[in-house]
Structure 1
Amino acid sequence: MRETRIVGTLSEILKEQWQWRKQILSLGLFDLKKTSAGAVLGPLWFFAKPAVYILVFWFALGVGLKSADQTGSDVPYILWLVGGLIPWFYMQDMLGTGINVFSRYSYLVTKIKFPLAGIPTIYGISNFIIQIGLVIALLVIHFICGQPLDLYLLQLPVAMVLMFVFFDMFSLMTSLLSAISKDFMNLMKTLSTPLFWLSGIIFNVFNLGIPAIELILMFNPITFIVTMYRCAVYDKMWIWEKPEAVVGFIIVFAITLMATLVIYRRTHEEVADVL
């Protein structure tokens, strides 16, 4: 009986997403335009911050700490670094504003009968468009570094879709909980920085030499996405050649999906009253 209710909730969410797809896309594009409105450089600001971050980390790690000497590869270290930082920029936003999107779009919750499940998708779309631009920049760096056009690059769009779907789902779950409890929202914001340093974005999780910690990190979806990006542009291997990473992501994805559906079914009617 419980399984039937969960399946029914999933069906309801997917149906609403499809029926409101045009409005969701339009609002996502509008949100992007609104963010850049009034700026002389406009959309270029979306890429200025990531560029500065990449240059700072490259100088600190590649030049200052000589991390490039630890990769054991002739491929420039900058490609390895951007392979981890570029997906992080998307995930960082989803772990920041994305965990409380109902407050950002409160008018959709309180004044318009807009499906709650579609609101995280609006924010996800606006960030995903920026991510597409950053991935194009990643490919430019990839070719400048002398890397070939090969089949491994097909993993990039797959990784992007998986990242979008997982964090759209994660944003829905955490936004519901954040609307009910401000303590949960503060907890998630506190965890954002530790997740950056502990997710293999600026170090290779497979070279730690501590099997227990490496196994734990395989259940971190951020680690999986970053690994898949690097498999495509740097390591030149297929993600399934690291089965522990794939299995870990599948388990976490399934658990997150179940938790999201249960939380949505129990709390979605209360969100408007709380806000």
Structure 2
Amino acid sequence: MNTFKEIIHDHIAFRGQILKLAKSDIVKTYRGAALGWAWAVIRPATTIFVFWFAFTVGLRGGKPINGYPFFLWLIAGFTPWFYMRDTLTNGAGAIRRYHFLVKRIKFPVDTIPTFVSLGNFLTNLVLQVIMIAIFIGFGYRPTIYYLQLPLYWLMMVVFFTWWGLFSSMLSCISKDFLNLVKSMTQPLFWLSGIVYDASRIHYNWIREILLFNPVTQIANGFRNSLVYHRWFWETPVELRNYCIVTVIMALLAVWAYRKLKKEIPDVL
């Protein structure tokens, strides 16, 4: 509990620096590129186009879902994935990337994954605005269910920020862990219902396992808001699962920070 209080205190005390460093992280990511910020849109757009072409044109499996074109259903779950993917990998390597903050100016280690996660979220927010504009362009105006999008933003950021603290602490001690995380990102994509509806899998035990996956929960939440028109309380199992895995992740993050915080400066 004392470690948890320390983490909360550091985030409150350094909240201004966290916001500035989140902005700096975004600038640093796209600095030096001729197109600059445009790459934040170009790369995801290219990926989405490839999957849309494969499933709609190539495999001819892109049938309308709940009255919405398959393309809209796809981007509803695909867009938040880019934040989750970047935070899975960048979050795990956050402390190594910003080692100078620990070694030179004694910046609180526990806040580093937070501003990296926040920077990724702000970039992804631009994509989500574009996604909503695409929905409107297809003739589907915002509905009252859009009001719950901030809830899923919060759920997404909270879980993956805790993940960032946990994984970045372990990555400092073992670079093999960081390599493992990077190698598991692609399999996680295919096991998380980004390009298919995990809640409709026929095998009950597989479906139950997938619904404990935070990536699946967030993707389903966005689709519930944009396509299926369901409120978050209409899927209580997924909400319960999210609370369980988030509490577990928070406990793991606090444990890792308490055990390793004194060793990090020496290791780096």
TM-score range, shorter chain: over 0.9
Residue among 120, 132, 142 paired with 1:139: 132
Residue among 237, 241, 253 paired with 2:230: 237
Gap regions ≥5 residues in structure 1: 1-6
AA aligned to 1:88 is W
2:28 corresponding residue in structure 1: 34
Residue among 213, 221, 226 paired with 2:219: 226
> Offset at 1:271?
0.7
8 Å CA contact 2:91, 2:164 repeated in 1: yes
> Offset at 1:72?
4.5
1:43 aligns with 2:40: no
AA aligned to 1:251 is I
2:95 corresponding residue in structure 1: 102
CA distance in 2, matches of 1:13, 1:67: 47
CA distance in 2, matches of 1:227, 1:267: 35
1:268 corresponding residue in structure 2: 261
1:172 corresponding residue in structure 2: 165
2:181 corresponding residue in structure 1: 188
> Offset at 1:183?
2.2
Moved more, 73-82 or 224-233: 73-82
CA distance in 2, matches of 1:141, 1:68: 17
Moved more, 263-272 or 177-186: 177-186
Cα deviation, 1:117-175, whole Å, max 9, x if unaligned, reads 11011211221111110110111122223223222101211111111111111000000
Moved more, 263-272 or 34-43: 34-43
1:67 aligns with 2:56: no
8 Å CA contact 2:3, 2:258 repeated in 1: yes
AA aligned to 1:208 is I
Residue among 119, 127, 132 paired with 2:112: 119
AA aligned to 2:54 is A
Cα deviation, 1:170-219, whole Å, max 9, x if unaligned, reads 00000001111222222212211110000000010111111111101111
8 Å CA contact 2:65, 2:73 repeated in 1: no
Residue among 12, 17, 37 paired with 2:11: 17
1:212 aligns with 2:197: no
So what's the TM-score if we normalise by structure 2?
A: 0.96
Gap regions ≥5 residues in structure 2: none
AA aligned to 1:161 is L
CA distance in 2, matches of 1:186, 1:43: 27
8 Å CA contact 1:91, 1:167 repeated in 2: yes
8 Å CA contact 2:94, 2:112 repeated in 1: yes
> Offset at 1:49?
0.3
AA aligned to 1:199 is S
Provide the secondary structure at the position in 2 that maps to 1:143. helix
Q: Percent identity?
A: 40
Provide the secondary structure at the position in 1 that maps to 2:219. helix
Moved more, 211-220 or 238-247: 238-247
Cα deviation, 1:84-119, whole Å, max 9, x if unaligned, reads 111110011111121111111010111111001110
CA distance in 1, matches of 2:65, 2:24: 45
1:249 corresponding residue in structure 2: 242
Q: 1:40 to 1:188 in 2, by over 3 A?
A: closer
